[in-house]
Structure 1
C-alpha cells in the first residue's frame, strides 16, 4: 500500500518512472484500469500522473490500445544556462561532437553588432554537429571575439567549449535569445539524419561574461523530435 504521506498521483508517477527505467521504447506499461486497482485511486489520479510523463516525452498513449514507453528525448531546461555537455551529463547521456568548421573569419554585421565589435572585425567561428550517445541531435554555430581564439587549440570534439572559455578567464554568466521552428533543408537533413522538411527548433542565444560583456553568439538547430524544452513561467 502506498504511504499516506505521499500524494497518490506522485506514488503512481514514481512507480511508472521505475517501470520505464527497466523497459525499452515501444514496450507497454500498465493500463489505467490496472494502475487504478493497484494504487486504489481514481482514474483521474492515474491520468494526472501519466500525463506528466507524457508531457516529458517518456510515454505515449494510444486511445483504445494502451500506454507505451516512448523513444527517449533530450530535455533542455530553458531557465538555466548550461552548456550542451552539462545538459547531457544531467540526462545521463554522453555528449560528443563532430567538428564541421573551426577557424577565424570576418564576422557578419549582425555578429559584430551582437559582440560589440567594429564592423569587419575578425571572429572565431566553431561549427559542430552535437551528439548524444553518438546520435546527431543538433547543429551548433558559435561565434566568439578574437580574444577567445585560444579555444581553437582545444579538443572541441571531446571537451566542453565553456570549459575552454573558463580556462581563459571568461565565465559564461547569462544569456538571452529566441526559439523558432523551421523545416530542415538538405544540409540539415543530411547532418541530423532526418528527412528534408523535418521540423527543427532553432535557438539563437547571446551569452555574456561575468563583466556583462558579450562573449558568445550561438545558433543551434535541434532535431525537433529529439528535444523537449522545459519552460517555467511565473506570474
Structure 2
C-alpha cells in the first residue's frame, strides 16, 4: 500500500518550522511569493500553511515589510494527544531527556486507583527532565502499571516513551487531566534552570489505550516562561 502524499500546505508549514528552528527572533524568513515559487503552490496554500504559525506566535507579519521569526516560546496544541517528543518535532526542536529515576516501587493510593490496580500494587516510576535542544523545558514524573517493567531497559534519555509503548502494543489513545499554575520551589528551579518562585504550569494526565485501559499517569511541571499552551475554540 502506498503512503499518503503529504498535503502541500503541510509541507510548507514543516519547511517554515525547520527554518525558524535555526533562526533568532526578528530574523526574516521567505515571503509568501518566495514560498509560492519554492513549492509551486498558490498563495492560498501558503496562507493556509502560515495561519497556525502566526496564531502560535512562531512567526509574525509586518504589512509591506515581510515575515519574521517570533519569540522562541514553545506552543503546545491543546485538544490533541501528542507526546513531548512529537510536539517538539513539529517545531523543529531536538529532544532529549535526563533520566533522574527509573524504578519499580510501591504505588501510592492515588496512583493505584488511577491506574485501576489492585491495592498495594507496585508501579513503574520514571522521572525525567525534558529538554528542547539543551534547554530544560519540563520535569516529568510518569507512573505505569507493573507489566511495563520492560521500559526500564529502554533508552528513554534519547527515545520516546509513547513510541516505546506503541511498539509494544499499548498505543496511547486518550487523555484526561488538569492544569494548574504553581511557582518553582528550589528543587524545581534548580532542575529547570529557573529562579525560585518562577511560574510553572503543572499538568496532570491519565492516558488510556483504545479499549480504555489506563497505561500512564503523568505529572509534568513546565517552565512557564518557555512553554505556551495554544487553545483553539469554536
Query: Fold match, TM over 0.5?
Result: yes
Residue equivalent to 2:171: 171
User: Which ranges in structure 1 are unaligned for 5 or more consecutive residues?
Assistant: 1-13, 30-48, 61-67
Query: Partners of 2:27 and 2:89 in 1: how far apart?
Result: 26
TM-score normalised over the length of structure 2 = 0.74
State the alpha-carbon separation in 1 of the partners of residues 86 and 58 from structure 2: 21
Q: Matches of 2:173 and 2:161 in 1, distance apart? A: 14
Rounded Cα–Cα distance in structure 1 between residues aligned with 2:171 and 2:69: 39
Distance 1:74 1:28 in 2: 19
> Mapping of 1:70-85 within 5 angstroms?
70-85=70-85
Name the residue aligned to 1:129: 129
Long gaps (5+) in structure 2: 1-12, 30-49, 61-67
Cα distance in 2, alignment partners of residues 70 and 232 from structure 1: 19
Residue 158 of structure 1: how far off its partner (Å): 0.4
Structure 1's 23 and 136: CA in aligned 2 closer, same or farther, altered over 3 A? closer
Q: Equivalents in 2 of 1:23, 1:154: separation in Å?
A: 33
Tell me the alpha carbon deviations over residues 192-212 of structure 1, each in whole angstroms, 9 at most, x when there is no partner: 001000000000000001211
Q: Distance in 2 between matches of 1:114 and 1:75?
A: 28
- Residue by residue over 1:65-116, the C-alpha shift from the partner in whole angstroms, topping out at 9 and shown as x without a partner, is xxx9654011111111111111111110011100011010001110001000
Deviation at 1:143, TM superposition (A): 0.3
Equivalent-residue separation in structure 2 for 1:25 and 1:172 (angstroms): 35
Give the equivalent residue in structure 1 for 2:228: 228
4+ residue runs over 4 A deviation: 20-23, 26-29
Aligned length: 192
Structure of larger gyration radius = 1
| SS of corresponding position for 1:179 | strand
Label 1:173 to 1:27 Cα distance change in 2 as closer, same or farther (>3 A).
closer
Q: TM-score normalised to the size of structure 1?
A: 0.74
Q: Aligned to 1:110, what secondary structure does the other structure show?
A: helix
